[in-house]
Structure formats: structure tokens, C-alpha cells
Amino acid sequence: MKVGPKYKIAKRLGPSVFEKTQTQKFAIAQERGERTRGRRRRGPTEYGRQLLEKQKVRVTYGLSERQFSSYVAQAMKTHATAEHTPADMLHRFLELRLDNVVYRLGLAPTRRAARQMVSHGHITVDGRKTTIPSRAMHVGEVIGIRDGSKSLPLFENYGERFAEMSLPQWLTWDAKKMQGGVAGMPSTESASPAGDLISVLSFYSR
């Protein structure tokens, strides 16, 4: 997915859409800009709010409109229950993408970097190299770093970085073996949604 100027997009959708805009410097600049422009703008319409939430989630995961709408369509086909609503399923589909799992494991600093890491063949699933960032992961599958890639500068000091990070409870990682996996299904409690997923589904239901 082609991305325009990140700071400009983050000012419209919110700093959470890009890792590089989740800084105090950006927050101060954004607050200063709001004071300069004033707060006389009319609030967005319900349609506008839903559109904003849709764009926020789509950009956060780095998906094209076609890819994202496909996940939404799959989620909306889900028979809603108390435990599995369409919003829950959409969140699960997005979180279980291989590139997102690589990012959640801390192997890459951003989802964009994780996507490149997978595309370049550095990641294995159940011992086999895969180059498909959108691959859906399943409980029990093992993710690792290809033997030929372990010595690359790309993974230097990863052990130290891993020791300082908090791993989502639905993922596991063995720093010595340099491999981990999906231990359970992601939920909105174990991995905060990138936006209001109910509004996203409402947008596509129009």
C-alpha cells in the first residue's frame, strides 16, 4: 500500500496509525497546531466519523482498500454470538496476519518493516520459509527466523530488545531458539483495536 506524508496523515487520523508519530514531539506539535487553528470546526457527521475510523484501522495495518474490505466482508458473514461478534472476528483477522504477528513479537519496529521482513524471506512458519505477509496464522503454528538470516544486522541485539518488551499473552517466544508461535486467539483485551471496529462495520453496512 502506498502511503503519503505520514505526519499529515497522522494529524487527520490520529498518531496511533504510525509508530513514528507516537512521540511526545508529535503530540506537542499537534496540540500547538490545534491552538493556532482554533476549535471552531463543526464536529464530523456520523458518516464522517465512521469513515475516519475505517481509514484509521486500514492505515494502521497498512492495507489497501481492497484487502481491508475483504476482511470486513468475511467478518460480516460471521454468525454473531456473545463471544464472537463480527467486530471480534475483524480484529482477529487483522491481528493474525503474519506481518502483524512478526511486529507484535518485536522482530520488526513497524508493521511496514515486518511486511518487508516477511517478503524478503527472513521468516519461517513451521520450519518453512514464507514470503506472504498476509498469511493467516493459526494456533499452534511456529514462527522462526530463517537460519541464514539469524546473523544479519537486522536481528542484532534482538535478545536485549525482547527482554525489555511486553509480549501479548496470545503469543509465545523462546529467545534462545529464536522461535515462537500463536498460543491463543487475540482478543480486544489482549491486543487493543486500532479503532472503533463497530463503526467500521457500520460504514460498510450502508
Q: What is the pLDDT of residues 131-166, one digit of tens each?
A: 999 999 999 999 999 999 999 998 888 877 777 788
Domain architecture of the chain: domains with CATH: 1-41 (no CATH), 47-92+191-206 (no CATH), 97-182 (3.10.290.10)
pLDDT reported for residue 172: 95
Instruction: Note whether 56 and 151 are within 8 A (CB).
Output: no
User: Stretch 89-100: mean pLDDT, rounded?
Assistant: 97
Is residue 76's pLDDT more than 90?
Answer: yes
Is residue 80's pLDDT more than 60?
Answer: yes
pLDDT reported for residue 159: 78
More confident of the two residues 164 and 109: 109
Is residue 79's pLDDT more than 90?
Answer: no
99 CB-side CA count, 13 A: 21
Non-local CB neighbours of 1 within 8 Å, separated by 6+ positions: 62, 63, 64, 67
Gap between the Cα atoms of 143 and 28, Å rounded: 39
pLDDT reported for residue 88: 93
Instruction: Note whether 168 and 95 are within 8 A (CB).
Output: no
More confident of the two residues 91 and 162: 91
Is residue 41's pLDDT more than 80?
Answer: no
What percent of the chain stands above pLDDT 70? 78
